[in-house]
């Protein structure tokens, strides 16, 4: 195919193109092929048209060639303690299939019988109450598409040299699903919160006894007891039969396998909010309860492991999100941050959910450095790495929302760089 260069309108340096410039790309001219088209009984037809296909099934599985798409599971001394990551660079859209939602467990995935599991809400309340799974199913529900991001996601951005690994390996502690459950505020209304209550201590029924303190204001705002994930009951790795779900807040605080909410006056300073999940600053102090995730974006194509076979037009694509609300815009640079152009956002830009961005690009075969920069509807702008590392102490890896950069060399190889 000839390339219709005359139709290309450049919107920034390094080959970034206007959305409508994308034509004449890749296909095989097929002048004489129509005569070779066979019907179902024609031996020239593909075998799939000549033999009846497989049966209907109760619960579908993936095509064999798609089964290579797996969560990224590291070697671990204790196989239930650690994290697996969503292979973001191999997925599309914004919804994470339930089987590929990232995991972060502190002592494995408990097997919980929903018939015996109970959620206790007590502490500074008028009337402590015990909710069984079936009780919660009677309450009014809401469904929201929301991301969950581990506070430690993209933490290797603090490393002295850029780690060479896939976008999912670096950033795959974020996933997005449609969650359905009961507003926590509804249940707190039931128990009647005392006037001096300020925090809620959440405890999971796992063998880590995961415990976090959450400001009451967040619990009364948009917190949810989630029971369903993309339509079906929660997966065990995501907290079956019930989890706390705090939209926009670091994932660890959305306590899985939730068994207890204690309404309290001051934070509990539990193990996980002192030994972990506090952010060392450059001046030696630490930020505690830095719960909300910042505005962020990552480019997924091109990215490490997805080298370009040759020059030509492609679509740069990635994901953006913010714990504060909706993504307002994503800008992309193909020349290392010198010039920027605004990417198109997906059809539905929902608050505290992943948003897909895309921009057409002509790679001319020379070196190129790609960056993306998200802005949310509070006006917050994703920081450059040097701004981010200036704020935090050495080795601090929580709440990394710094801009990540990919460099394409003349061979089409993509590497992670600090630009």
| Residue closer to a copy of itself (CB basis): 125 or 293 | 125
CB of 195 to a copy of itself, least distance (A): 19
Residues 6+ apart with CB under 8 A from 332: 12, 16, 299, 316, 340, 341, 342, 343, 357, 359, 370, 371, 372, 373
Sign of the Cα pseudo-torsion (229, 301, 308, 74, in order): negative
Residues 6+ apart with CB under 8 A from 88: 167, 168, 171, 172, 174, 298, 300, 319
Residue 85, both tokens: 């990551």
Contact 242, 179 (CB under 8 A): no
| Residue closer to a copy of itself (CB basis): 162 or 239 | 239
CB of 127 to a copy of itself, least distance (A): 6
Burial class from Cβ neighbours inside 10 Å (0-12, 13-18, 19+) for residue 18 reads middle
| Residue closer to a copy of itself (CB basis): 84 or 369 | 84
CA distances from 19 to 311, 322, 345, 361 (A): 18, 25, 11, 9
SS3 144: strand
| Residue closer to a copy of itself (CB basis): 98 or 290 | 98
CB of 40 to a copy of itself, least distance (A): 4
DSSP symbol at 334 = S
∠ CA(230), CA(372), CA(354), 5° rounding? 10
| Residue closer to a copy of itself (CB basis): 146 or 293 | 146
CB of 263 to a copy of itself, least distance (A): 11
CB of 216 to a copy of itself, least distance (A): 18
| Residue closer to a copy of itself (CB basis): 317 or 396 | 317
Nearest CA to 407 out of 341, 312, 334 is that of 334
| Residue closer to a copy of itself (CB basis): 8 or 279 | 8
| Residue closer to a copy of itself (CB basis): 83 or 396 | 83
SS3 412: coil
Name the maximum alpha-carbon separation found in the chain: 81
CB of 296 to a copy of itself, least distance (A): 19
| Residue closer to a copy of itself (CB basis): 56 or 160 | 56
Residue 291, both tokens: 């719960």
CB of 303 to a copy of itself, least distance (A): 14
Give the strand pairing for 118-123 and 258-264: parallel
| Residue closer to a copy of itself (CB basis): 83 or 213 | 83
For 387-400, the DSSP string reads: HHHHHB-TT--TT-
CB of 25 to a copy of itself, least distance (A): 6
CB of 279 to a copy of itself, least distance (A): 25
| Dihedral angle of Cα 309, 315, 319, 322, to the nearest 10 degrees | 140
Give the strand pairing for 82-84 and 232-233: unpaired
| Residue closer to a copy of itself (CB basis): 94 or 213 | 94
The verdict on whether omega for the bond into residue 241 sits within 30 degrees of 0, i.e. cis, is: yes
CB of 83 to a copy of itself, least distance (A): 7
Contact 214, 246 (CB under 8 A): yes
CB of 394 to a copy of itself, least distance (A): 29
């Amino acid at each position: 195919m000839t390339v219709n260069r005359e139709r290309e309108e450049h919107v920034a340096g390094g080959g970034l193109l206007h959305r409508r410039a994308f034509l004449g790309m890749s296909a095989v001219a097929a002048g004489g092929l129509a005569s070779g088209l066979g019907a179902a009984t024609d031996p020239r037809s593909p075998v799939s048209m000549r033999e009846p296909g497989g049966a209907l099934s109760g619960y579908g599985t993936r095509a064999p060639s798609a089964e290579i798409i797996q969560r990224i599971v590291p070697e671990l001394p204790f196989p239930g303690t650690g994290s697996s990551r969503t292979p973001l660079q191999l997925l599309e859209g914004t919804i994470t299939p339930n089987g590929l939602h990232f995991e972060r467990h502190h002592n494995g995935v408990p097997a919980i019988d929903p018939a015996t599991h109970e959620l206790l809400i007590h502490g500074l309340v008028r009337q402590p109450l015990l909710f069984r799974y079936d009780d919660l199913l009677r309450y009014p529900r809401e469904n929201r598409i929301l991301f969950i991001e581990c506070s430690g996601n993209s933490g290797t951005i603090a490393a002295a040299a850029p780690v060479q690994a896939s976008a999912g390996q670096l950033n795959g502690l974020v996933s997005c699903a449609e969650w359905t459950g009961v507003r926590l505020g509804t249940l707190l209304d039931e128990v009647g919160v005392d006037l001096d209550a300020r925090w809620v201590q959440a405890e999971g029924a796992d063998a880590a006894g995961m415990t976090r303190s959450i400001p009451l204001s967040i619990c009364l705002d948009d917190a949810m007891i989630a029971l369903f994930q993309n339509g079906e009951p929660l997966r065990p790795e995501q907290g079956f039969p019930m989890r706390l779900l705090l939209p926009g807040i670091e994932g660890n605080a959305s306590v899985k396998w939730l068994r207890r909410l204690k309404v309290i006056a001051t934070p509990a300073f539990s193990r996980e909010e002192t030994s972990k999940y506090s952010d060392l600053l450059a001046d030696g102090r630490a930020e505690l309860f830095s719960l909300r995730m910042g505005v962020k974006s990552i480019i997924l194509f091109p990215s490490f492991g997805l080298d370009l076979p040759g020059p030509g037009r492609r679509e740069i694509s990635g994901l953006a999100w913010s714990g504060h609300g909706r993504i307002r815009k994503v800008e992309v640079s193909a020349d290392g941050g010198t010039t920027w152009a605004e990417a198109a956002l997906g059809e539905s830009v929902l608050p505290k959910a992943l948003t897909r961005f895309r921009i057409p690009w002509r790679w001319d075969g020379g070196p190129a450095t790609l960056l993306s920069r998200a802005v949310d509807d509070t006006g917050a702008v994703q920081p450059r790495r040097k701004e981010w590392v200036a704020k935090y102490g050495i080795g601090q890896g929580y709440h990394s929302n710094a801009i990540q950069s990919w460099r394409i060399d003349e061979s089409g190889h993509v590497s992670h760089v600090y630009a």
